[in-house]
Amino acid sequence: MLDVRENVGQPSCQRRQRRSPERYTGYMALVGECVATEPSSFQEVVHQPVWVDAMIEVYDSFIWNSVWDVVPRPGDKSVVSSRWLYKVKQATDGSVEKHKARFVARGFSQVEGINYDETFARVARYSCIRLMLALSAQMGWKIH
């Protein structure tokens, strides 16, 4: 059996140095310029009309869908905090397609039965809808 040092040789350095190959540095610089930056706080976007319009769109959808009810705060309960999240949606060519804002509750402090009773989201998969339509067509039902 041959000794490993005969095939490979003596190691020149005791540590391995990690460094990205030179051929990728230009590509990464180009990608960094193409990606639109996303704000991380409300203070960054409050004076930008694009983000204000996105937040108004979300608020209007909440009002239209009756997402919440305003109720008086019970004295012995804590309030769940919330925040805005911002995302820049890009098209396949790298241009900005849409500025998307989401209003989310920081629900990690909630306890079921104390802070909320039930959760419900009206979400249906397209495959389920197609299945129901196919079944109703096969049975001769009419959808009004």
Q: Does the pLDDT of residue 6 top 60, yes or no?
A: no
Of the candidates 101, 54, 65, the one whose C-alpha atom is nearest the C-alpha of residue 82 is 101
User: Half-sphere exposure (CA, 13 Å, Cβ side) for 93?
Assistant: 2
Q: Does the pLDDT of residue 137 top 70, yes or no?
A: yes
Q: Does the pLDDT of residue 11 top 70, yes or no?
A: no
Quote the pLDDT of residue 13. 59
The vertex-34 CA angle with 51 and 47, nearest 5°, equals 20
Instruction: Report the range of poorest mean pLDDT among 3-17, 45-59, 60-74, 84-98.
Output: 3-17
Q: How far apart are CA 65 and CA 84, in angstroms?
A: 19
| DSSP at 79 | P
Residue-wise pLDDT for 64-118, tens only, equals 988 888 888 888 777 778 889 999 888 887 778 888 999 988 877 777 777 677 7
Quote the pLDDT of residue 29. 66
Quote the pLDDT of residue 123. 78
